[in-house]
Structure 1
């Protein structure tokens, strides 16, 4: 069973340490104490709470293509920066705590109306996605 400190759990779900402690007190998260007496949050419990929270955000409702594409990895967020030349553009987005950067044609940027402050969905379809463990 994966255990993590309160500060790490808070960073992973984008809340304060105090919120994590309140969730533990209310029974929303499982936790225990380590040998030093520090509160340790159960990773599986945190993962379940994160999934529940994401489902409640209903970001799929903001994604007009949701459910009509084969790519299942999509991140809806705000365009934060667009740098364009005549042919290509770099589009930066903030999708929750994640920064997503994509290189697309300037023609596509214009057709989609992408500009800082606009809503967009980054769709990721890759034949190879690597995952790195955090280590012990």
Structure 2
């Protein structure tokens, strides 16, 4: 028998970086499938949550440009540190903090400053993937 990962609303909300109320609204609107467990709590199967996230993650900036980079994270610029040649730009994309080192010229051309909305486009040939421990109460 194959074990199915199931998440409660709060766990799904934490993974998605939204409030539990937002997840409930998505369920009530039929956007995110959920069932009730033996205690009457709404639960979401891991595969359903993954499909929902994939669907939501397509083209976060709405530009639909053709690119070989598949990882696009929209967020807000939280810090910009520039020197004469290089710059460091910090972006908060949901629960994720991204740090990018780029030329000062690129930062100036993009007019990146604290509070700007930016999309981090990530293409990497070396990505380390670790298996995360499940949130307390989840079933594998």
TM-score range, shorter chain: 0.7 to 0.9
In structure 2, the gaps of 5 or more residues are: 135-140
* Aligned mates of 2:117, 2:21 — CA distance in 1: 31
* Aligned mates of 2:109, 2:23 — CA distance in 1: 43
Mark the CA change 1:6 to 1:76 in structure 2 (over 3 Å): closer, same or farther: closer
Mark the CA change 1:49 to 1:78 in structure 2 (over 3 Å): closer, same or farther: same
- Residue 29 (structure 1) aligns with: 33
User: Structure 1, residues 56-96: CA drift from partner, whole Å, max 9, x if none?
Assistant: xx534257xx21x3222222332221011222211011223
Residues 9 and 24, structure 2, Cα contact 8 Å, conserved in 1: yes
Mark the CA change 1:53 to 1:4 in structure 2 (over 3 Å): closer, same or farther: same
In structure 1, the gaps of 5 or more residues are: none
Runs of 4+ in 1 over 6 A off after TM superposition: none
- Residue 72 (structure 1) aligns with: 70
* Aligned mates of 1:106, 1:18 — CA distance in 2: 41
TM-score by length of 1: 0.73
Q: CA deviation at 1:11?
A: 1.3
- Residue 14 (structure 2) aligns with: 11
Mark the CA change 1:125 to 1:18 in structure 2 (over 3 Å): closer, same or farther: closer
| RMSD, aligned α-carbons | 2.7
Number of residue pairs the alignment of both structures matches: 129
Mark the CA change 1:19 to 1:102 in structure 2 (over 3 Å): closer, same or farther: closer
Query: Per residue, is there more helix in 1 or in 2?
Result: 1
- Residue 132 (structure 1) aligns with: 130
* Aligned mates of 1:88, 1:6 — CA distance in 2: 43
SS in 2 for 1:61: coil
